[in-house]
Amino acid sequence: MSEVSTATTGKYSIESEKLNLWYGSFQALFDVDLRIKKGIITSMIGPSGCGKSTYLRSVNRINERLGYVKITGSIKVMGQNVYAEDAELVQVRKQIGMVFQRPNPLPLSIRDNIIFGHRLHTPKSEKVSVKKEDELIENSLKQVLLWDKVKDNLKRKATELSLEEQQKLCIARLLPVKPAVILMDEPCSALDPKGTAAVEELIWELRDNYTILIVTHNMAQARRASEECIFMLMGKVVEHAPTDEMFVNPEHEETADYIEGRYG
Amino acid sequence: MSNERILKTTRQGKPGQGAGDRNLDWYIDKAVQVLVLIAGISAIVFIIGIFTFITKEGISFIFESSYRISAYTIGTLEEKEFPEELLEELEILEGETYVDAAELIIAMEETIGKEATDQYKGLIIEHSVHEPFKVMDFFFSTRWKPTSEWKPTYGAFALIIGTASVTGLAMIVAIPFSLGAAIYIGEFATGKTREALKVLVEMLAAIPSVVWGFIGLSIMNPLIIKAFDVPIGLNVLNAGVILGLMAAPIMATIAEDALKAVPDRYREAAEAMGATRWQVIFKVVLPAAKKGLLAAILLGLGRGFGETMAVLMATGHAINLPTSIFDSVRALTATIAAELGETAVGSDHYRALFTLGIFLFVVTFVINLTADLVVRGVKKG
């Protein structure tokens, strides 16, 4: 699948068409058409309940866990419709990493956490040497600037780290699988300002190699840490523009009102 | 009037005016506090009480030498210092066998009164056979013959092995069963199915053990005879399966609680990384819940170990060292239940049964304590 996607990769990593979503009988998304550019950071803003998290969670189909979600329309990730009947969920999620609001390292050692995804996606027949694994772990942890801190006790339980370190670890564990897209659902909302700054910096570092879609409640964060910005309201996309433009010169009145803090 | 009340209540607890006023609520509050305290500490009182009682009755068998007087030694008494007239009065006792001195003394008290008996107590003990308790015999001899006329023996090894074999088989049955049920209810079933299953499993846990024993006796017994072509269907297999099915619901309930205690964000994280449902359960949920699952297994083990009625009915109740699962055995608990009512209070047999009780108590206590410590570990981690 990855060969196919590289062949058909265009300018966009995520393209959704007429995406409608219902939680039971409540419609949360209305005809959402979005094209998210490859290799940049796009942020999604909007008041609570506007559907930005819902959209994010539809991209890797993690919404389906709830069991009462109905979806129409399509989302293409790297050219492949993830809602197509022949789409393999495991492969879809291999391409799409996700970082959650609350850091959620697994209750395993740091080492096992980092290599978890890689082990899942390595066929049983294929033996990965310990040395190769160590290399992957070292590279991932170095990329998130955590290596120096944890290199001496990789056997330590990941849940014992500080929240900031846990969130960095949650980003690091996506890297060995080499996803094309990383989804982030308010990744800094559980962190203190120092942790937020550190994680933001890290996200900024990652932007060349991955397409990053980040949902945030924090407008200042969207402004300083993203290149394009999407404003959503009541399940619909109101505006999608380069961040600088949107914050300086918003096209719609709702956007302007929200950015200026008149509601939300 | 009502204004005054309001004033009083608002003043409650403040120093000075009205602070000493106590209304009905204050007394109700105190009374409830005391009641709750009593209920709370009653568990401790009961544990200590039961332990003291069992120990008091059983420990003398271990530490005090036992005095046995058999029919043979009554004859000896006659030849010796026993006064003629007393022996005449004791005539009704002749021809009877007394397992030990205590039993003879009780019988004498009934015939000639307490005071007269007291005079001869020393004499009886002097003339009885003196046998100290042998730990090796008690735990490692298979000869459990408490009612033997000539030489009663108390070897509990076969009983211990009986209990161990049945409980062991029960765990082999119960562990996969209960963990499977817990995984299904906790991780797969949703909505109404889940609720219905939980209620049913809890109902299953409430079925009286005599009903399980009945099933063992009247359904499993002929089934085993037919299926395996063996002479007796009341054996280790029967009791093990019955006991396993009995322990499984409780284990499943506790195991399901343990699975539920695993935060959902772990599952979400693993699923988002592309893990399938089974991978999530095997690589994340079960390892995260392993302490709780271990506690469930230990509690099931404790339950199996202490179960009485069902094993009494389904094991065949025959003293036997089993060589296969088709042999009948006898369990510790069942022995106590079946024999205690038939023994004279204070006799060797009576005290030996209490010693079995101490052993059972200690083992179940250790199992439960371990389970408890394991659970505490869960809360910490």
Binary contact (A106, B276; C-beta < 8 A) = no
Helix H or strand E segment including A214: strand A211-215
Q: Is A65 helix (H, G, I), strand (E, B) or coil?
A: helix
Task: Check residue B86 and give its pLDDT.
Answer: 63
Binary contact (A107, B287; C-beta < 8 A) = yes
In angstroms, the Cα distances linking B18 to A196, A254, B30 are: 56, 61, 19
Q: Is the pLDDT of residue A44 over 90?
A: yes
Q: Domains of chain B: which residue ranges? A: 2-11+19-63, 66-131, 157-380
Strands A12-23 and A69-77: antiparallel
The predicted-structure confidence for B273-303, as pLDDT tens digits, reads as follows: 999 999 999 999 999 999 899 999 999 999 8
Class of domain B157-380: mainly alpha
HSE at residue B275, side-chain half, CA atoms within 13 A, is 25
The predicted-structure confidence for B231-288, as pLDDT tens digits, reads as follows: 999 999 999 999 999 999 999 999 999 999 999 999 999 999 999 999 999 999 999 9
Q: Residue A4's Cα: distance from chain center in Å?
A: 22
Q: Which of A63, A106, A169 to mutate to test the interface with B (most CBs of B within 10 A)?
A: A106
Range of weakest confidence among A91-105, B7-21, B351-365 = B7-21
A195 or B149: whose pLDDT is higher?
A195
B173 or B57: whose pLDDT is higher?
B173
Task: Check residue A8 and give its pLDDT.
Answer: 46
Helix H or strand E segment including B45: helix B24-63
Q: State the pLDDT confidence band at A143, using cuts at 50, 70 and 90.
A: confident
Say if CB A140 and CB A114 are below 8 A apart: yes
Say if CB B299 and CB B217 are below 8 A apart: no
Helix H or strand E segment including A16: strand A12-23
DSSP β-bridge partners for residue B274: none
Task: Check residue B310 and give its pLDDT.
Answer: 93
**Residue A260: partners with Cβ closer than 8 Å, 6 or more residues away:** none
Say if CB A168 and CB A198 are below 8 A apart: yes
**Residue A110: partners with Cβ closer than 8 Å, 6 or more residues away:** A150, A153, A154, A155, A156, A157, A158, A161, A169
**Residue A186: partners with Cβ closer than 8 Å, 6 or more residues away:** A53, A101, A215, A216, A217
Show the domains of chain A with their CATH numbers. 2-259 (3.40.50.300)
Locate the chain B residue with the closest alpha carbon to A93.
Answer: B274
Binary contact (B266, A104; C-beta < 8 A) = yes
Q: How close is the nearest chain A Cα to the Cα of B186, in Å? A: 14
Q: State the pLDDT confidence band at A113, using cuts at 50, 70 and 90.
A: very high
Q: Is the pLDDT of residue A67 over 90?
A: no
Say if CB B213 and CB B309 are below 8 A apart: yes
Q: State the pLDDT confidence band at A65, using cuts at 50, 70 and 90.
A: confident
Distance CA B118, CA B121 (A): 5
Q: How many CB pairs under 8 A join A and B?
A: 59
Task: Check residue B336 and give its pLDDT.
Answer: 94
Which of B263, B268, B275 lies closest to A120 in CB terms?
B275
Q: Is the pLDDT of residue A88 over 60?
A: yes
The predicted-structure confidence for A231-242, as pLDDT tens digits, reads as follows: 999 999 999 999
Q: What is the mean pLDDT of residues B322-343?
A: 93
| Percentage of chain B lying above the pLDDT 70 cut | 79
ipTM over 0.90: no
Binary contact (B266, A107; C-beta < 8 A) = yes
Which of A94, A104, A177 lies closest to B269 in CB terms?
A104
Q: Is the pLDDT of residue B224 over 90?
A: yes
Q: Which has the closest alpha carbon to A114: B152, A125, A128, A198?
A: A128
- Which residues of B lie inside 8 Å of A (Cβ-Cβ)? 190, 263, 265-276, 279, 283-284, 287-288, 381
A195 or B113: whose pLDDT is higher?
A195
Distance CA B294, CA B280 (A): 19
Q: Which of B273, B290, B379 to mutate to test the interface with A (most CBs of A within 10 A)?
A: B273
Q: DSSP class of residue B188?
A: I
Task: Check residue A7 and give its pLDDT.
Answer: 41
Q: What is the mean pLDDT of residues A235-261?
A: 90
Mean pLDDT, chain A, whole residue set? 89
Q: Which has the closest alpha carbon to B223: B241, B204, B205?
A: B241
In the stretch 48-77 of chain A, residues with CB closer than 8 A to chain B read 60, 62, 65, 67
Q: What is the mean pLDDT of residues B335-353?
A: 88
The predicted-structure confidence for B63-78, as pLDDT tens digits, reads as follows: 765 555 544 455 556 5
Strands A41-45 and A228-233: parallel
Binary contact (B273, A177; C-beta < 8 A) = yes
Locate the chain B residue with the closest alpha carbon to A98.
Answer: B272
**Residue B47: partners with Cβ closer than 8 Å, 6 or more residues away:** none
For B129-172, what is the HEC assignment? EEECCCHHHHHHCCCEECCCCCCCEECCHHHHHHHHHHHHHHHH
Q: Is the pLDDT of residue A191 over 60?
A: yes
Joined together, the tokens standing for residue A247 give: 């914050």
Q: Is A157 helix (H, G, I), strand (E, B) or coil?
A: strand
Which of A62, A91, A121 lies closest to B272 in CB terms?
A62
The predicted-structure confidence for B133-178, as pLDDT tens digits, reads as follows: 677 788 888 888 887 766 678 889 999 999 999 999 999 999 999 9
Q: What is the mean pLDDT of residues A17-34?
A: 93
Q: Is the pLDDT of residue B360 over 70?
A: yes
Q: How close is the nearest chain B Cα to the Cα of A254, in Å? A: 33
Q: Is the pLDDT of residue B222 over 60?
A: yes
